[in-house]
Structure 1
Amino acid sequence: MSLLKRLLAWFQPDTTRPLTQVWLCSLWMGVLANLPLWQQLHGMPGSRLSFLLAFVGMVTAATGAVLSLLAWPRFVKGALVVLLMSAAALAYFIGAYGIVFDPTMVVNMVQTDARETRDLLSWRLAATLLALGVLPAVWLLRRPAAPAQALRQRVLGNLGSFALGLLAMVLLALSVFATLSSTMRNNKTLRYMVTPLNAVYSVSAVGVRSLSGPKGPPVVIGADAQLLPRADGAKPPLLLLVVGETARAMNFSLNGYARPTNPELAKLPADQLISLRQVSSCGTATAASLPCMFAPQGRADFDADKPQENLLDVLQRAGLAVLWLDNQSGCKGLCDRVPNSFTAKLPAGAAPLPAGLCDGEECFDEALLHALDARIAALDPARLQRGLVLVMHQMGSHGPAYFKRSPADLKPFQPECRSNELQQCPRERVVNGYDNTIATTDRLLARAIDWLGTQTSRFDAGMLYVSDHGESLGENGLYLHGMPYAIAPKEQTHVPMIFWVPQAGALAATLKPGCLQALRDQPASHDHLFHTVMGWVGARADVYQPGRDLLAGCRR
């Protein structure tokens, strides 16, 4: 009988001990919270059961090793509960949308708002959190407190557990090294799918960068900014810069897409509206792309950890009026030093927004065009006499709830997916919902051009539209955006850029005939935005690079 009790005790470890709790939770997360990873590995050619089991063991051993360092009686339960809930959430989002969790994704989470968060909530998410997070957390919290233990013994135990976990991971890796090295080399996204180690690493990396980054005001750029002299009687420039959201170039009919997603813009004269077809983005998420595309350095040299002024600061320093209007989660710090507002925040005396534009939670992008005259009238008159750069930041095609981004009277592609769980909809319905958002952007841009036409008595008006990044719609099992740039698919980095340059305007008069049309299929990127805008409005500074001004080669 005593032998039986000893055997049972061996199979039923003392769950009051912090290290026991760590390893049981590591086994739970390593096996169950990584189901999307195991599914992807299982579907790879040549992936054998022995390799899959070794990978499971490696993840569990590595997780247990790292968490062994947290195995302190007053700390371990809270840390494990947070990790269990995080791992459950990641299991859902990685499995549902094919995303990866890296430092950029952490920044996206921090900078999101309640509206975007709501779009991600679902009953499947709640069920996953309950099964993989809440239930083991309740079990853990019900464990009695561990008996007192000497500090030296606790430290040695934790370090010993850490060493054993690392040793087990290394031995397992060596046992399948050839397959492991080949798999990780050819499938770089896998390293960002290992839960919860991906969360521990990414959050830590962002925290270290935040603490070690420079403090104080942003670095001044373009301190010598000024405007080129205008000819007598020439009108000041008005550039409408529309920053799109989650629009991918391949779904614009202006770029050759088979569906008529741009019916309104297609009606405009081809010598006035030019869509560039080979444009790449700075990043795959708003938090990465926006600061980069408004900086002079370009993607290769831009450092997000070194705060600096941006295009809007330089334009304002040159003497222009600048206004940022936002219909999304904010300007990511770009508009902090220039006049800015949100669509729902109307200027004093403006008429209320027309019925149907807003539903109390969000507004359609067309609300950006409301009360523009009143907003402009509130700007500095002296600056307006020199010119105006008006930036509109769209909600655009932000997912996964694409059906919310297009009004009821503008849904030409049916049936559309009416859920935020895209993987549960047939892919053609997902594409329908997304294409409806592109048609909605098309109407916004066409009506924006109509409004610009009403300003020609006062300004020399033009428009530049460019999206911040693209979107995956189920290609290779991926949805949404935010993949690490080095491994991101073209659907997330190939973005639309559209110029509207009226032939009667002063800018068109300075350009060589047919030169803009020749830009259609020339490679371009967000690196060109800063310098093209400066060239367009006649602003110059030491940071201006003519070689990155898309219009410089077209000027007479």
Structure 2
Amino acid sequence: MSTVLPTPDHPAGTYAAAAQAHTWHPAAVNVMASLWLAIAANLPLWRALHELPSLAGGMFWRVAGALAVAIAAALVLLLSLVGTRLLKPSIVVLLFVAAATAHFMWAYRVVIDPSMVANVLQTDVHETADLVSPGLLGFIVAVAVLPSIWFCRLPVRRLGWRRRWLQQGLLATAAAATLVLALMVSFQPLAATMRNHKTLRYLINPLSTVYAIGATAARPLLKGPLPAHSAGEDAVLGASYVGQRKPPLLVLVLGETGRSGNFGLNGYARDTTPELAREDVVSFRNAWSCGTSTAASVPCMFSHLGRSAFADRSYEYENLLDMLQRAGLAVLWVDNQAGCKGTCARIPHVSSTGTQDPLLCSGGECLDEVMLRSLEARWAELPAERRAKGTVVVLHQMGSHGPAYYKRSSRETKRFLPECTRNALQDCSRESLVNAYDNSIAYTDRFLAATITWLKAQAPHADGAMVYVADHGESLGESNLYLHGLPYALAPDEQKHVPWIVWTSTGFAARIGLRVDCLRRRVDVPLSHDHYFHSVLAMMDVHTALYDPALDPYAPCSSQH
């Protein structure tokens, strides 16, 4: 077909027609992008399906093919909701989101749900840097960068608004029909697979991420207004404060990513806790977390609601620390991680970020012992009238935060070698990975022993005690899972079974009538983060109607009850 040259009878409008003929229809761009995302960005999903014995042979292709078509149709439907001007930017955003999430799902076998998105949003720059690896960059270049360049260079046809919305409506209708048809064709095997392997639904990329981001963004709109609703307004100090000779000093060490099974105190084959073993501690071996991420567990364990009610709450509430402060105690939060997740919003709090210590800090991150260096000075800065009654200090550890476990221990605590020094944990041998993690537990052992030593040094003017409880556990390659953050109902025990360790001075135990020998006989009693709120109130002898003795693990061993 010959090109029509402009003449007086055929002016420059012919140029516009010719240019339009060499452009791509928005619907075609939409479909191509959706197909690419459905296939290339879902490698973790195809791998997970391929590993299922029930989908051997041709059944795998039937289910995977139906899912690929359904995912592509859903993406076409989603992109048909945006105008032509926003089509390319929307595709680019989806490509980069899909590439990043595909890498983490592939490398660590994590899934993306609202709790994971909330955790990511609250991660600081140092934790983010630990996750950067050649694998991540490779996924981003292959799945996002190169396709983005290609799509951005495509000339897209401009349509009048009536024609544009009519055709997008037809495209959306066709996409919805294709989605329904794909699901119907393989309904029985697909439904059975999704019902029996619920993790798969979180691997549908990037739809699962888009949903999780939307749910996370909408959550504040569904909750009550800030500030938090009052709770425990009746909190008062108990009889132990009447005529006391020395005030109580309780240090709550909030552990990070601690696996109960890797603590020597709990029967682990390796002696990862030799220093704590020399102290008069009690280690509860059957304790379970409220969530599988810091963002989920920390606010929950300091709440009076308990795990089930906390997950279904309609409002935010004041927490344990607010009640301790309301009762008249001095309260302080010291952070060596990515913040308190809102738990310390209404009490004094400080962070180790930016601390300059050549022995304990490197690259903007500090080992946990840095929190003890200035703790006495920070304690002294709290109101004197409150300190005279008693003090609760929370030390929020970096602990065993992954994937860079090798950064979480000092040179002298690296007793288990060789050690994995990569962020791509799947590239490390099982032995070196466990060695790196166990070294971080050995460092936690050292830090907790140092905390006890610090408390003993305060004996002339305070009765000290320490409680260490981790926020959640961790997967170290079991069932090819790494890190943490799986939905609670699907998460393995390694991500939920946490350590709970108690040390009290003689004076502290005496003021609340606590029999340590009795606690040792109860180390296998089931505990959870639901008990944490009530146990701390009991230890500090703070009375409120919210306290439930049935959820106080120390009550059977205390003369106060």
TM-score (norm 2): 0.92
The answer to whether the 8 A contact 1:501-1:508 is kept is: no
What amino acid is aligned across from residue 342 of structure 1 in structure 2?
A: S
**Which residue does the alignment assign to 2:439?**
436
Question: How far apart, CA to CA, are the structure 2 residues paired with 1:368 and 1:540?
Answer: 30
Q: Deviations over 1:98-151 (max 9, x none)?
A: 010111111111111100000000122112101110111111111224223232
The answer to whether the 8 A contact 2:512-2:539 is kept is: no
Q: In the alignment, which of 106, 110, 125 is matched to residue 114 of structure 1?
A: 125
Matches within 5 A, 1:184-333: 184-230=194-240, 231-268=242-279, 272-303=280-311, 306-333=315-342
- Describe the SS at the equivalent of 2:308: coil
Q: CA deviation at 1:15?
A: 5.8
Going from structure 1 to structure 2, the CA distance change for 1:215 and 1:511 (only over 3 Å counts) comes to: closer
Q: Deviations over 1:329-388 (max 9, x none)?
A: 111111121111112567xxxxx74x3111141000011110222111111111011000
- Describe the SS at the equivalent of 2:200: helix
**Which residue does the alignment assign to 1:334?**
343
Question: How far apart, CA to CA, are the structure 2 residues paired with 1:387 and 1:511?
Answer: 18
The answer to whether the 8 A contact 1:265-1:445 is kept is: yes
The answer to whether the 8 A contact 1:324-1:339 is kept is: yes
Q: CA deviation at 1:282?
A: 0.7
- Describe the SS at the equivalent of 1:46: helix
Identity across the alignment (%): 47
Q: CA deviation at 1:169?
A: 2.1
Matched, 1:101 2:112: yes
Matched, 1:81 2:92: yes
Alignment length (residue pairs): 535
Going from structure 1 to structure 2, the CA distance change for 1:425 and 1:513 (only over 3 Å counts) comes to: closer
What amino acid is aligned across from residue 102 of structure 1 in structure 2?
A: D
What amino acid is aligned across from residue 222 of structure 2 in structure 1?
A: S
Q: CA deviation at 1:263?
A: 1.0
Question: How far apart, CA to CA, are the structure 1 residues paired with 2:22 and 2:467?
Answer: 66
Q: CA deviation at 1:555?
A: 1.4
**Which residue does the alignment assign to 1:501?**
504
Going from structure 1 to structure 2, the CA distance change for 1:408 and 1:305 (only over 3 Å counts) comes to: farther
The answer to whether the 8 A contact 1:460-1:505 is kept is: yes
- Describe the SS at the equivalent of 2:452: helix
Question: How far apart, CA to CA, are the structure 2 residues paired with 1:514 and 1:433?
Answer: 34
Question: How far apart, CA to CA, are the structure 1 residues paired with 2:188 and 2:511?
Answer: 61
Going from structure 1 to structure 2, the CA distance change for 1:38 and 1:549 (only over 3 Å counts) comes to: same
- Describe the SS at the equivalent of 2:283: strand
Q: Deviations over 1:500-548 (max 9, x none)?
A: 1234544477134632012200000001111100110111112221211
Going from structure 1 to structure 2, the CA distance change for 1:158 and 1:148 (only over 3 Å counts) comes to: closer
What amino acid is aligned across from residue 531 of structure 1 in structure 2?
A: H
Question: How far apart, CA to CA, are the structure 2 residues paired with 1:104 and 1:36?
Answer: 20
Q: CA RMSD in A?
A: 1.8
- Describe the SS at the equivalent of 1:398: coil
**Which residue does the alignment assign to 1:425?**
428
Question: How far apart, CA to CA, are the structure 2 residues paired with 1:490 and 1:156?
Answer: 52
What amino acid is aligned across from residue 337 of structure 1 in structure 2?
A: R
Q: In the alignment, which of 528, 536, 541 is matched to residue 544 of structure 2?
A: 541
Question: How far apart, CA to CA, are the structure 2 residues paired with 1:281 and 1:492?
Answer: 8
Q: CA deviation at 1:456?
A: 1.3
What amino acid is aligned across from residue 310 of structure 1 in structure 2?
A: N
Q: In the alignment, which of 117, 124, 127 is matched to residue 138 of structure 2?
A: 127
Going from structure 1 to structure 2, the CA distance change for 1:506 and 1:208 (only over 3 Å counts) comes to: closer
Q: In the alignment, which of 18, 24, 28 is matched to residue 26 of structure 2?
A: 18
**Which residue does the alignment assign to 2:419?**
416
Matches within 5 A, 1:116-195: 116-151=127-162, 153-195=163-205
The answer to whether the 8 A contact 2:406-2:419 is kept is: yes
Q: Deviations over 1:268-324 (max 9, x none)?
A: 2xxx31111111111100001110000011001114662211111100000000011
**Which residue does the alignment assign to 1:6?**
none
Q: CA deviation at 1:239?
A: 0.6
**Which residue does the alignment assign to 1:390?**
393
Going from structure 1 to structure 2, the CA distance change for 1:468 and 1:507 (only over 3 Å counts) comes to: farther
Question: How far apart, CA to CA, are the structure 2 residues paired with 1:156 and 1:492?
Answer: 50
Please, which runs of 5 or more residues in structure 1 have no aligned partner?
Answer: 3-12, 347-351
Residues 398-407 or 51-60, more deviating: 51-60
Question: How far apart, CA to CA, are the structure 1 residues paired with 2:326 and 2:544?
Answer: 10
Please, which runs of 5 or more residues in structure 2 have no aligned partner?
Answer: 3-20
**Which residue does the alignment assign to 2:11?**
none
Going from structure 1 to structure 2, the CA distance change for 1:533 and 1:96 (only over 3 Å counts) comes to: same
- Describe the SS at the equivalent of 1:409: helix
**Which residue does the alignment assign to 1:57?**
69
Question: How far apart, CA to CA, are the structure 1 residues paired with 2:509 and 2:180?
Answer: 68
Question: How far apart, CA to CA, are the structure 2 residues paired with 1:344 and 1:173?
Answer: 50
Q: CA deviation at 1:211?
A: 2.8
What amino acid is aligned across from residue 464 of structure 1 in structure 2?
A: V
What amino acid is aligned across from residue 136 of structure 1 in structure 2?
A: P
**Which residue does the alignment assign to 1:362?**
365
What amino acid is aligned across from residue 186 of structure 1 in structure 2?
A: N
**Which residue does the alignment assign to 1:30?**
38
Matched, 1:453 2:459: no
Q: CA deviation at 1:53?
A: 2.0
Q: In the alignment, which of 478, 482, 507 is matched to residue 481 of structure 2?
A: 478
Going from structure 1 to structure 2, the CA distance change for 1:24 and 1:508 (only over 3 Å counts) comes to: same
Q: Deviations over 1:188-230 (max 9, x none)?
A: 1111100110111111111222233322311111111110123
Q: CA deviation at 1:38?
A: 0.4
**Which residue does the alignment assign to 1:9?**
none
Question: How far apart, CA to CA, are the structure 2 residues paired with 1:139 and 1:487?
Answer: 39
Question: How far apart, CA to CA, are the structure 2 residues paired with 1:391 and 1:196?
Answer: 38
The answer to whether the 8 A contact 2:509-2:515 is kept is: no
Q: CA deviation at 1:414?
A: 0.5
Q: CA deviation at 1:43?
A: 1.3
What amino acid is aligned across from residue 433 of structure 2 in structure 1?
A: V
- Describe the SS at the equivalent of 1:356: coil
- Describe the SS at the equivalent of 2:344: coil
Q: Deviations over 1:443-501 (max 9, x none)?
A: 00011101111111111111100000010111111111111111111111111000112
Question: How far apart, CA to CA, are the structure 2 residues paired with 1:248 and 1:513?
Answer: 24
Question: How far apart, CA to CA, are the structure 2 residues paired with 1:50 and 1:407?
Answer: 52
The answer to whether the 8 A contact 1:14-1:20 is kept is: no
What amino acid is aligned across from residue 65 of structure 2 in structure 1?
A: L
Question: How far apart, CA to CA, are the structure 2 residues paired with 1:210 and 1:141?
Answer: 35
The answer to whether the 8 A contact 1:238-1:389 is kept is: yes
Residues 357-366 or 141-150, more deviating: 141-150
The answer to whether the 8 A contact 1:507-1:536 is kept is: no
Question: How far apart, CA to CA, are the structure 1 residues paired with 2:244 and 2:392?
Answer: 20
Question: How far apart, CA to CA, are the structure 2 residues paired with 1:144 and 1:288?
Answer: 45
**Which residue does the alignment assign to 2:14?**
none
The answer to whether the 8 A contact 1:501-1:507 is kept is: no
What amino acid is aligned across from residue 334 of structure 2 in structure 1?
A: L
Going from structure 1 to structure 2, the CA distance change for 1:239 and 1:475 (only over 3 Å counts) comes to: same
Going from structure 1 to structure 2, the CA distance change for 1:233 and 1:202 (only over 3 Å counts) comes to: closer
